[in-house]
């Protein structure tokens, strides 16, 4: 499968929205309840750009099949070398190495920005994402119980970390 990774543009946001809204509506991979609007997604994209954080997309035959980004982990200044990342692949394109390609690119971008560590905060039921992060070299560094509530039940957070040397 030939996949091109590139910086996202604002014109990609409808495709990004389709991917993320599927996850919001159907899964606990993301703990939003309400579907995002296009203007909300565009605002997220613009804020990443303003803060000099990357927003990348994976393109297959002119279709956006996944995206990745990172941003502030916590807002206190002492956290400035730490970022929290997100990677989402269109549901019809899982298991084709696209997530791996995106996250490797995010790791390279983070190293180039002299960041020190990347953290993914993952729903403990999301075994696919946990296995995916382990395969990519992330370590499970924390399990925080009942930090989320969606679909009428409590959810736990798993923190998965990679140190960028
Ligand atoms: C998790 C996700 C980003 C992985 O991306 P992907 O492109 O499907 O994953 P890849 O094909 O690059 O997989 C790389 C490795 O991760 C592991 N992996 C990925 N998905 C897996 C799954 N569902 N179950 C078990 N292992 C999995 C495998 O070890 C795989 O290597 P292999 O193909 O040699 O076995 C993607 O499935 C996704 O977007 N899921 C829904 C949204 C989500 O959970 N995002 C992450 C939020 S924290």
CA of 99 to the centre of ligand 1 (A): 6
- Using alpha carbons, list the distances in angstroms from residue 83 to 101, 116, 133: 18, 8, 15
Sequence-distant (6+) residues with CB within 8 A of 149 are 31, 155
Q: Is 98 in the pocket of ligand 1 (CB under 6 A)?
A: yes
For residues 110 and 77, the answer to whether their CB atoms sit within 8 Å is: no
Q: Whose CA is nearest to atom 6 of ligand 1?
A: 99
Tens-digit pLDDT profile for residues 64-115: 999 999 999 999 999 999 999 999 999 999 999 999 999 999 999 999 999 9
Angle at 74 between CA 155 and CA 134, to 5 degrees: 55
Mean per-residue pLDDT, 36-47: 98
Q: Is 126 in the pocket of ligand 1 (CB under 6 A)?
A: yes
Per-residue pLDDT at 165 exceeds 90 = no
Confidence of residue 1 (pLDDT cuts 50, 70, 90): low
Nearest to 86 by CA among 26, 133, 33, 154: 133
3-state secondary structure string, 45-81? HHHHHHCCCCEEEEEECCEEEEEEEEEECCCCHHHCC
- Structural domain 4-163, CATH architecture: 3-Layer(aba) Sandwich (3.40)
Per-residue pLDDT at 137 exceeds 80 = yes
Token couple for 53: 């954080």
Query: What mean pLDDT is reported for the chain?
Result: 97
Q: Whose CA is nearest to atom 24 of ligand 1?
A: 128
The ranges assigned to domains in the chain are 4-163
Q: Is 132 in the pocket of ligand 1 (CB under 6 A)?
A: yes
Q: Is 100 in the pocket of ligand 1 (CB under 6 A)?
A: yes
């Amino acid at each position: 499968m030939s996949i091109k990774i590139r910086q996202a543009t604002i014109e990609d946001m409808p495709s990004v929205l389709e991917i993320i809204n599927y996850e919001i509506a159907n899964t606990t991979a993301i703990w939003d309840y309400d579907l995002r609007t296009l203007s909300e997604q565009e605002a997220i994209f613009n804020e990443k750009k303003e803060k000099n954080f990357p927003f990348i997309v994976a393109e297959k035959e002119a279709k956006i099949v996944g995206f990745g980004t990172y941003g502030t982990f916590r807002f206190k200044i002492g956290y400035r070398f730490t970022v929290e990342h997100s990677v989402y692949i269109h549901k019809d394109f899982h298991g084709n190495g696209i997530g791996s390609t995106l996250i490797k690119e995010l790791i390279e971008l983070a190293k180039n920005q002299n960041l020190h560590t990347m953290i993914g905060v993952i729903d403990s039921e999301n075994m696919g994402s946990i296995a995916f992060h382990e395969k990519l070299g992330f370590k499970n560094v924390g399990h925080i119980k009942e930090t989320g509530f969606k679909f009428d039940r409590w959810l736990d957070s798993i923190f998965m970390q990679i140190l960028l040397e």
